[in-house]
Homo-oligomer: A and B are copies of this chain.
Amino acid sequence: MTKHPTRRDLLDAALRLFARDGYDATSTRAIAAEAETNISSIAYHFGGKEGLRLACADAVAQVIGQVARALPAGPAALDRLAARRILRRLVRRIVTFLTVTPAASGIVGFLLRELAQPDSPVLDRLYDTLVAPRHAALCRLWAAATGAAPDSEDTRLAVFALIGQVAYFRLAAPIVQRRMGWDGYARREARAISRRLIVNLDAMLAAADG
């Protein structure tokens, strides 16, 4: 055995299996086998299956944070055109990440499964450190791009709708790919999705101009 089973291997394996099959459907035996180590190493490194789940949540939050780093953090004033440019870049960036990045399937699959579960023990952590600040930043960007109030109900809903149409392509990937006749997501498919979502974004922005 030339390769040492490590903490990192377990984390990668767990993220992949949690995303594909769900937390409960994934046994620690399967994770250990995928990581090519033994079961008890999970308890050693993470304290147990639940600890591994929380570690996955932290890893996911970190990666998503990187992808969304194009978002301006502060409430700096942006003119309309600059804000719209950033929004378009973000949509393209997120679609590319969701489709062609190899680890994206696991990361987003894990995230969406946890978010769909109202009483998930990792939801609080993910919401406070990831969802709330990023969504607020997107709302400020949307407000700058459209002239709407950043805290208005409609602004927040518009941002959720924007996120929703992007996220759906990863969430419902099996049926999307089947219906499109695609074997998976690669560069060409990412471009086709990106193009349509940018059209939609521009249409929503144009509608805001009255």
| Interface residue ranges, A against B (CB under 8 Å) | 20-25, 109, 112-113, 115-118, 123, 127, 131-132, 135, 153-154, 156-158, 160-169, 171-176, 178-180, 192-193, 195-197, 199-200, 202-204, 206-207
Contact = CB atoms under 8 A, between A and B. Distances in A.
Contacts of A204: 199-200, 203-204
A163 B168 CA distance: 8
23 contacts: A21-B24, A21-B117, A22-B22, A25-B25, A112-B116, A112-B171, A112-B172, A115-B171, A115-B172, A115-B175, A116-B171, A127-B178, A131-B175, A154-B196, A160-B169, A160-B176, A161-B168, A161-B196, A164-B169, A164-B171, A167-B168, A200-B203, A203-B207
Contacts of A174: 115-118, 123
Contact of A131 (B24, B179, B193): B179
Nearest to A128: B178
A153 B199 CA distance: 14
Contact of A171 (B23, B132, B171, B199): B171
Overall SS of chain A's interface: helix
Contacts of A206: 203, 206-207
Given A25-B22, A168-B164, A174-B115, A179 B199 contact: no
Given A24-B25, A25-B22, A123-B174, A157 B116 contact: no
